[in-house]
Amino acid sequence: MDGLIYLIPAALFLGFLGLLGFIWSIREGQYDDLDGATYRALFEEDDMKEENDLKKDQLEEKVS
């Protein structure tokens, strides 16, 4: 039981650090482009460029 005096504040402190890290990552935009990392890891740059060009063309057609 005496150990709880140390463990509870330590757990609260670590939880608070985790929360601060999560808030920092949101503010820094770490979660803005979730699909980009997938494409960079799985596909070649040429494929990504072609796909981005296709998306750009489709967007321009919708706007026009």
Of the CA atoms within 13 Å of residue 53, those in its CB half-sphere come to 6
Side chain identity, residue 13: F
Return d(Cα 13, Cα 10) in angstroms, integer.
5
Summarize the confidence of residues 46-64 as an average pLDDT: 73
**3-class SS of residue 24:** helix
Per-residue pLDDT tens over the stretch 7-50: 999 999 999 999 999 999 999 988 887 777 777 667 666 666 77
Domain range annotation of the chain:
1-32, 33-64
pTM of the complete model: 0.53
